[in-house]
Amino acid sequence: MREGKEATQTFRVAVAQIDPHLGERAYNRRVILERMEEAAQAGAALVVFPECALSGYVFPSAEEALPAAETVPGETTEAVAAACRQHNLYAIVGLLERDAASQLFNSAFVAGPEGLIANYRKCHLPVLGIDRFVGKGEALPILELPFARIGILICYDVRFPEAARVLALRGAEVIIVPTNWPQGAESAPLFLTRARAWENRVYVVACNRVGQERGTRFIGQSQIVAPDGTFLAQGDGASETLLYAEIAPAQARQKKLVFEPGVFELDPVGDRRPELYHDLCT
């Protein structure tokens, strides 16, 4: 689909830093649809929402969380896909997913004008909030959207450099990170996202939430990071907002840095020594 497109082509991404209400799926879905319309009017091709944007996060048990969960496909995937068709837009939405056996997963689905495209389940789980009661995801897929190859990591996933590296090696140009960074996780927006972007030479689009749930405060600071580790956009720690940036996927395909030919060159992907890394697989 992307063959023949100019290397200079860009697309606009929107990050929806919002304050989901715990357990209030109808309210959260309405906010998601409203932000999608706003992002489309601003020319975005892709809009990203936080981890558990549909459900909220701080549940004390699986039993309490289950009514806030949805199947994939389900009511919200259908509503978001319909909005994608209406606005000619793609969306990535975090939700609490339940399967046919009522097993819970911390997931993020991808929808576009063609409907539901994919569903990613969080692979690395901290002892925190709903993650104490969900199943682990088992795959790190790459999705080919019309404008870029994307990978998804959810929150704690980004603390594992191996996960981002695998996505980059599989061709990801943009890594999307729906997240619920709480107070105490300031290291993630401070330097982890920038490190993942630079070491893999990819864009990192991190969408955090704001607000509080049961005494847990979320720190915002959603951000869009370029392959050189610089911020293209960054939210504050408290405000609901939409952030925007232009992304040029061709920049993420250029892994080698040549400051002075033959004198100062870096290739953080091509210069790897996999034969030395066997312990990573144990």
- Residue 129 and residue 214: Cα distance in Å, rounded? 10
- Residue 144 and residue 173: Cα distance in Å, rounded? 10
Cβ neighbours of residue 115 under 8 Å, at least 6 residues apart? 81
Nearest in space to 17 (alpha carbons), one of 96, 94, 104, 113: 94
Based on the residue annotation, tell me whether 123 is a catalytic residue of this protein: no
Half-sphere exposure of 131 (CA within 13 A, CB side): 20
Based on the residue annotation, tell me whether 155 is a catalytic residue of this protein: yes
The catalytic residue among 51, 97, 173, 213 is 51
Based on the residue annotation, tell me whether 64 is a catalytic residue of this protein: no
- Residue 124 and residue 102: Cα distance in Å, rounded? 20
The catalytic residue among 70, 122, 173, 213 is 122
Half-sphere exposure of 19 (CA within 13 A, CB side): 13
The catalytic residue among 155, 173, 207, 213 is 155
Give the catalytic positions in this structure.
51, 122, 155
